[in-house]
Amino acid sequence: MSQRLVSVFTPFENLTDPRIERTRRHELFDLVVVALCGTIAGGDSWLDIERFGKERLTWLRTFLPLAEGIPSHDTFGRVFARLDPAQLAACIQQWFADLGRELGHHIAIDGKTLRGSGDKAAGKNPLHLVSAWASEARLTLGQIAVDSKSNEITAIPLLLELLDLKGATVTIDAMGCQKEIAAKIVEGGGDYLLALKDNHPTLHEAVAQEFTAALEKDTPPAEMRQHTTVEISRGRKERRIYAALPAPQSLPGFADWVGLATLVAVIRITEVAGVETSEVSYFLSSLPTKVRKLAKLIRQHWSIESTLHWVLDVTFTEDASRIRKQQAPQTSAMLRRLAVSILSSDTSLKDNIRGKRYRACLSTDVLERLILNFARK
């Protein structure tokens, strides 16, 4: 079992140690593996990781030398503060590739702020990360930190460069609805589905008029495709009407949107306690007008919020994390996202992610099973 475990983590051997050789007491590979195992098993701080390592030292030594024992929480903090986030991300991607993970065909991109990583006294803003989430495989494929003097518009193209887009559909919220981003996705061999809001006022108004004209007709146009879903839960009824139209060449700036093929409208009608409200959202896509597929992608996009970001905040208490030094907010965030992928992809334990973390904390057999099951998929 020990050899199987150590072989699972082999890609992390490629990390460059940022420390001077004469100051190293603990191997970088050991530090990373202990930190990842501790994060899966409930550790939310470097002190938690140290405690986990000391409590599980006998088990850890079945596959790691740990000749100097478990590093202090200060050592974990210093090393991860200096570790190159790009290198760590490359190792994680290599790990997925070596494991032959099936990533599916949908990539959702969204941003999240790590609120506890800011320090007002030091004039440091909280770290904002843009992540790529394979919704079907429940894997974080990559993440980019947004420069404090920039925004997601400049970070998303950098993130796209890290991804294999061939055959994938990329969904992004309104911030990513940019001509350059659409072109980059198509150039990479993918398709896009981008939320359109009034950050493009002329285009937004033109798309709204296309659907208003089509939906007001007694007989909908033959080229329009529609699909309706109804959900009822806890006294709330939500009806969603999805409509898709071929994108007309008369659309403002049509020629500048590479691959643009379809306009999508989603009408949400919500009823709570007899009170009905409605809202309409619009999207641009390079996909054909297969409305059921488009509807599924729109719903899947929110899995990055409900499956990843919600879990990070509620189960991993990411917003409360006080890890702030240098690169540590970003590198520790990568560990958390990798832990979410390992925990959420497991089907052997009939439990939620919080429950799986608790059970992994209680039992190294459970922790081993989670890691090895992830490696087998």
DSSP annotation string for 223-292: T-EEEEEEEEETTEEEEEEEEEEEPPTTSTTGGGSTT--EEEEEEEEEEETTEEEEEEEEEEESS-S-HH
pTM: 0.81
d(CA 124, CA 118): 5
Q: Tokens representing 171?
A: 């969904």
d(CA 183, CA 181): 5
Sign of the CA dihedral with 302 first, then 339, 355, and 323 last: negative
Higher pLDDT, 69 or 316: 69
Residue 148: pLDDT above 60? no
Partners of 112 in the beta sheet?
129
- Residue 135 vs residues 23, 282, 291, 330, 336: alpha-carbon distances, Å: 42, 21, 19, 22, 17
Length, in residues, of the chain: 377
Q: Tokens representing 181?
A: 């981003």
Neighbours of 242 (CB within 10 A): 21
| Amino acid at the residue 51 | R
H or E stretch at 209: helix 201-215
pLDDT of residue 149: 47
Fold for the domain defined by 106-308: Transposase Inhibitor Protein From Tn5; Chain A, domain 1 (3.90.350)
Q: Give the alpha-carbon dihedral of 26, 28, 31, 34, to 10 degrees.
A: -120
Name the residue among 77, 31, 86 with its Cα closest to residue 334: 86
**Please, are residues 68 and 314 in contact by the beta-carbon 8 Å criterion?**
no
pLDDT of residue 92: 81
Residue 271: pLDDT above 50? yes
Residue 247: pLDDT above 90? yes
Name the residue among 133, 126, 46 with its Cα closest to residue 83: 46
Q: Tokens representing 45?
A: 């701080």
- Residue 259 vs residues 93, 159, 197: alpha-carbon distances, Å: 28, 20, 19
The domain ranges of the chain are 2-83+346-376, 106-308
Higher pLDDT, 117 or 111: 111
Burial degree of 376 (CB within 10 A; 0-12, 13-18, 19+):
exposed
Kind of pairing, strands 106-114 and 169-172? parallel
Task: Give me the mean pLDDT over the 222-230 stretch.
Answer: 91
d(CA 10, CA 29): 9
**Residue the block writes with tokens 């072989």:** 7
**Please, are residues 362 and 352 in contact by the beta-carbon 8 Å criterion?**
no
Task: Give me the mean pLDDT over the 140-155 stretch.
Answer: 74
Higher pLDDT, 295 or 25: 295
Task: Give me the mean pLDDT over the 293-321 stretch.
Answer: 80
- Give DSSP secondary structure letters for 331-356: HHHHHHHHHHHHHHH--SS-S-HHHH
How far does Cα 49 stand from its chain's mean position? 23
pLDDT of residue 1: 45
Least confident of 80-89, 98-107, 149-158, 218-227: 98-107
Residue 198: pLDDT above 90? no
pLDDT of residue 219: 85
pLDDT of residue 319: 66
Higher pLDDT, 163 or 363: 363
Q: Tokens representing 222?
A: 């033959």
Residue 309: pLDDT above 70? yes
Max Cα-Cα span within the chain:
80
d(CA 374, CA 27): 24
